[in-house]
A and B are shown apart, each in its own frame.
Chain A
């Protein structure tokens, strides 16, 4: 019976997830499609003379000559790629899906001339047949089938997935390390602070938490670079590399036991490069999570069942660990699970400050350079992980809290 309920629940949730993902995709794609700028902006920054045909050719390179709904369905499901071919017949070859050179009309609005598109110039329609016959047009498969399209700017004309692949391992490495450390440090701190409420330890943790959560990561990052990379090197102390995921050449780290030669790309090199970005991210996360666990724990400690457990004469350690902590962690599950998208999405500021080649930096770069296929891919990955995290957190609730039933 419980299994059947779970199956029904999962079916319903997967269906809901698909709708949410579709709406996210539609909203993001539409917003980015109508954002000013785009791949043609550079034409205004160089001294160049282009005729209407040139502009049409450049627009076609980026599929900007296709209607937005057509572009969207091509991006999402890889259709249309051309007319249907059924029984030796081409169906829909003449269906218009875009316009190479739009006609324009100039109207005066509020004393200013505004140019508006007004249909398509004669003979400049893009048909389904053009999509299939034009060798400069790409046959797409769609995001649904793993084709995220081609990068417009960052890795021009090459698959977006190549970019994602190159960044993902570094982001996972950094975020996983920081998330794990945050849990390992944040939860005990929170618990201990709650148990020792209003103690000196609690005050210190509370103060540091406020400090950690209010300190901007870029500032804290730069501060660490100055201290542990620049000044420590000047003072002949063991210094850390100021940025990057790995060194490009062997380097020397002065220690109290003499100079250590660190080989570029070695495990030690990679570990040393991770220390500062991980620390910044961890401190920031620990600050928030420890406060959350403390609050949750305090609430649970006031519950009758905890008082009962104590009244039964159980050891305080058992009361805390078994009765209080398990219940206090139920809401914390949501927070931890919702950090999953972040593990893959990266941390924009920290990655930028430490020149970490991760997804956050890529997203920032994609928006800055109007590389919308890349930005869309990252948004979709984030949206997908967010809905998956929602599902996982719902399921985990039932695991950590037997009172909750899926229905």
Chain B
């Protein structure tokens, strides 16, 4: 009798084993640390307290605001900052980087120094490595003893440091642990799977940490309202909504970050961000550790290769050329785009390809804005942006003082008694009934006149109308409809022009970027239907949308070999003129080592930061600068350590 049951059981177990094995955490990697110290600097010590959250509309139960016994004291938080030798942390993860590059990765506030909103004046409290100062602050706060401190009640200075299992985080976290130990702070590292740390019902969202390290991606517009405003603290009472994971509520900072995100005047915004950064640095609730480095590499023959921290490196592919007169390029990409349907897919790899096929309305090179498909940036000065004062009747749909078109449950906000609004002067007031004078934004968007689809059909008004109808249909599968919900009406005034009237109270700084794109309304699908007639729920599975869409960008996606490559050919109808590069092949190479090997053998011509990253492979490309151009720069992504002021 054959023991077949054993095999059957083994089969079942092997499958379950594969699942479990796949979920296993990564191994810890040890690295050598380069000791770099910064000169000490005397700083004024400011003590802050956790402020009870009272701002509308979030109701907060005070039972959940008991300060953290250690981190609730600002002196302790500042001591942690002084005891952190950030240059040493940087050197631990980027040993290949020059001192100059490493120095460029340091940051003192939440805004990257290259940003227009960054402020570095004397009011910003900085925390250069100064363990003696850190120790003094801890003593002052009542934490004494060796080797690890405790307070007068014998409560040990013991903090749980949570972060992911990513190798480079393990590296710098182990150095950080040593640095804290030198100051008498006992750190226990808790490396958890990213799926738990960033899970929708665990980790950060539930504020289940004491010290927590992760990264934010900086943008051309610093935003920050969802991260630092008082009403954005995830709590059990607000169903854990918001991203202010530290539980930080500093009224001045909160008001400043909200004002900065509710103004169209850049000078005013800079001033508000300055106020915010001063408070942010002073309270030390989130220690900016460093900006990540990122490397881009390309063959020396490629001209006009201009990667930027705030834009995908293909943003200017129409300017690319090869010195040897070649017309073909091969780009390596670490991940395959999930879909070319930009509405439902926003990964960096998708955007990298999307720029080749569609281009952008406005590009964001080097923390600034440039026109692209949009012929001009609407401003108050050029008349493209008009602020009207309107008398709004009760019951009218509006945008509330926090910039939202819907309440927490998803109902449209209407002007009704008790609603917090911004009046015609931009002041936050509570509406008490009757009517209210509010500001209303009317923006005229003008696209390039000579836009032509890659099949030769000129762009027309129906294309924009289709985009508005589809993208703002809440069955389309998009994640965020907040801009659509802020629109009161749209008037299409020409083939490539339209005017959007936003709801009263909408004052988003980025309203100069068109909220409406374009789709080829004339396109006939393989099944004979016209795109404009296809229900929005089907769009994400249409090959003509998801695989080989028509575009107005410099290249046409002609072939997609799943798992292997995408082939793009020059668009003969490109509005920007003839291209020097006639064909681009995108090779999907998941493993960075493999991508670098292919770059060195000449099988690949370009790899961007999303593929090259900033690991040891950068050293390999740096060693081959005789054949490659290598561009290393501070990324917009910055690592930081959040300090949880009160754990719910």
Q: Do A and B bind each other?
A: yes
A-facing residues in B228-243 (Cβ within 8 Å): 236-237, 239-243
A54 touches B410 (CB 8 A): yes
Shortest A136–chain B CB gap in Å is: 5
* Chain A CB within 8 A of B48 CB: no
A244-B199 in contact given A37-B194, A48-B479, A230-B597 (Cβ < 8 Å): no
Complex: A240 Cα to B383 Cα, angstroms: 61
Complex contacts, A406 vs chain B, CB 8 Å: 2
A357 touches B199 (CB 8 A): no
Of A182-190, A195-203, A295-303, A386-394, the one with at least 4 CB within 8 A of chain B = A386-394
Complex: A195 Cα to B589 Cα, angstroms: 46
A24-B64 in contact given A49-B482, A353-B594 (Cβ < 8 Å): no
Interface string of A230-267 (1 = CB under 8 A from B): 10010000010111111111010000000000000000
The listed residue with most A CB atoms (<10 A of its CB), out of B11, B240, B562, B594, is B11
B-facing residues in A30-57 (Cβ within 8 Å): 31-32, 35-38, 40-54, 56-57
B11 touches A357 (CB 8 A): no
A357-B564 in contact given A57-B474, A135-B537 (Cβ < 8 Å): yes
Complex contacts, A53 vs chain B, CB 8 Å: 406, 409-411
A156-B339 in contact given A31-B16, A355-B590 (Cβ < 8 Å): yes
Complex contacts, A37 vs chain B, CB 8 Å: 193-196, 198-199
Shortest A287–chain B CB gap in Å is: 22
* Chain B CB within 8 A of A207 CB: no
B410 touches A167 (CB 8 A): no
* Chain A CB within 8 A of B601 CB: yes
Shortest B148–chain A CB gap in Å is: 22
B216 nearest CB neighbor, chain A only: A47
A248 touches B565 (CB 8 A): yes
A229 touches B20 (CB 8 A): no
Complex contacts, A353 vs chain B, CB 8 Å: 591, 593-594
B-facing residues in A1-60 (Cβ within 8 Å): 13, 16-17, 19-20, 23-24, 27-28, 31-32, 35-38, 40-54, 56-58
Question: Which residue from B227, B537, B561, B590 sits with its C-beta under 8 Å from A47?
Answer: B227
Interface string of A148-186 (1 = CB under 8 A from B): 001101111110001100110010000000000000000
Query: Could you say which interface size class chain A belongs to?
Result: 35 or more
Of B129-137, B201-209, B384-392, B426-434, the one with at least 4 CB within 8 A of chain A = B201-209
A44 touches B205 (CB 8 A): yes
B245 nearest CB neighbor, chain A only: A44
A249 touches B585 (CB 8 A): yes
* Chain B CB within 8 A of A362 CB: yes
B408 touches A166 (CB 8 A): no
A382 touches B195 (CB 8 A): no
Shortest A252–chain B CB gap in Å is: 10
Shortest B220–chain A CB gap in Å is: 13
* Chain A CB within 8 A of B345 CB: yes
A357-B603 in contact given A104-B239, A242-B598 (Cβ < 8 Å): no
Complex contacts, B9 vs chain A, CB 8 Å: 20
Question: Which residue from A106, A112, A249 sits with its C-beta under 8 Å from B330?
Answer: A249
B480 touches A382 (CB 8 A): no
A41 touches B195 (CB 8 A): yes
A387 touches B199 (CB 8 A): no
B-facing residues in A349-407 (Cβ within 8 Å): 352-355, 357, 361-362, 365, 367, 370, 375, 379, 382-383, 386-387, 390-391, 393-394, 397, 404, 406-407
Complex contacts, B580 vs chain A, CB 8 Å: none
Complex: A153 Cα to B537 Cα, angstroms: 17
Complex contacts, B64 vs chain A, CB 8 Å: 113
Complex contacts, A367 vs chain B, CB 8 Å: 22-23
* Chain B CB within 8 A of A68 CB: no
* Chain B CB within 8 A of A61 CB: yes
B199 touches A352 (CB 8 A): no
Complex: A387 Cα to B23 Cα, angstroms: 24
Shortest B399–chain A CB gap in Å is: 12
* Chain B CB within 8 A of A309 CB: no
Complex: A154 Cα to B588 Cα, angstroms: 13
Interface string of B625-648 (1 = CB under 8 A from A): 000000000000000000000011
Complex: A115 Cα to B647 Cα, angstroms: 13
A31 touches B19 (CB 8 A): yes
A111 nearest CB neighbor, chain B only: B647
A242 touches B11 (CB 8 A): no
Complex contacts, A128 vs chain B, CB 8 Å: none
B593 touches A222 (CB 8 A): yes
Shortest B421–chain A CB gap in Å is: 17
Shortest A312–chain B CB gap in Å is: 32
Complex: A136 Cα to B163 Cα, angstroms: 37
A162-B562 in contact given A20-B12, A44-B204 (Cβ < 8 Å): yes
A-facing residues in B563-613 (Cβ within 8 Å): 563-565, 567, 585, 587-591, 593-594, 597-598, 600-601, 603
A32-B19 in contact given A47-B227, A156-B339, A394-B4 (Cβ < 8 Å): yes
B4 touches A233 (CB 8 A): no
B603 touches A61 (CB 8 A): no
A-facing residues in B398-412 (Cβ within 8 Å): 404, 406-411
Complex contacts, B23 vs chain A, CB 8 Å: 35, 367
A162 nearest CB neighbor, chain B only: B562
* Chain B CB within 8 A of A280 CB: no
A44-B200 in contact given A27-B12, A53-B410 (Cβ < 8 Å): yes
A112 touches B648 (CB 8 A): yes
B237 touches A352 (CB 8 A): no
* Chain B CB within 8 A of A225 CB: yes
A242-B409 in contact given A397-B2, A406-B2 (Cβ < 8 Å): no
Interface string of A106-143 (1 = CB under 8 A from B): 10000011010000000000000000000110000000
Complex: A38 Cα to B403 Cα, angstroms: 29
A51 touches B406 (CB 8 A): yes
Shortest B69–chain A CB gap in Å is: 11
* Chain A CB within 8 A of B481 CB: yes
The listed residue with most A CB atoms (<10 A of its CB), out of B239, B345, B647, is B239
B199 touches A38 (CB 8 A): yes
Question: Which residue from A28, A57, A104, A404 sits with its C-beta under 8 Å from B2?
Answer: A404
* Chain A CB within 8 A of B364 CB: no
Complex: A133 Cα to B208 Cα, angstroms: 40
B344 nearest CB neighbor, chain A only: A156
Complex: A78 Cα to B540 Cα, angstroms: 21
Shortest A303–chain B CB gap in Å is: 22
B328 touches A379 (CB 8 A): no
A115 touches B240 (CB 8 A): yes
Complex contacts, A104 vs chain B, CB 8 Å: 236, 239
Question: Which residue from A170, A251, A387 sits with its C-beta under 8 Å from B603?
Answer: A251
A397 nearest CB neighbor, chain B only: B2
Shortest B214–chain A CB gap in Å is: 8
A407-B1 in contact given A38-B200, A53-B409, A53-B410 (Cβ < 8 Å): yes
A225 touches B594 (CB 8 A): yes
Interface string of A270-313 (1 = CB under 8 A from B): 00000000000000000000000000000000000000000000
* Chain A CB within 8 A of B623 CB: no
- Besides A27-B19, A155-B338, 5 other CB < 8 A contacts? A37-B193, A44-B205, A47-B225, A243-B603, A387-B7
Residues of B within 8 A of A (CB): 1-2, 4-5, 7-12, 14-16, 18-20, 22-23, 64, 193-196, 198-202, 204-206, 208, 216-217, 223-227, 236-237, 239-243, 328, 330, 336, 338-339, 341, 344-345, 404, 406-411, 474-475, 477, 479-482, 535, 537, 540-541, 546, 561-565, 567, 585, 587-591, 593-594, 597-598, 600-601, 603, 647-648
Which 10 pairs of residues, A with B, have the shortest CB-CB distance? Answer: A53-B410, A37-B195, A166-B562, A357-B563, A106-B236, A40-B200, A390-B7, A157-B540, A156-B338, A386-B11
Q: Would you give 29 A-B contacts (Cβ < 8 Å), ordered by A?
A: A16-B4, A20-B11, A23-B12, A24-B16, A28-B16, A28-B19, A35-B23, A36-B199, A37-B195, A38-B195, A44-B199, A54-B480, A112-B647, A113-B236, A115-B236, A115-B240, A154-B338, A166-B561, A167-B563, A249-B328, A357-B562, A383-B11, A386-B14, A387-B7, A387-B11, A390-B8, A394-B4, A404-B2, A406-B2
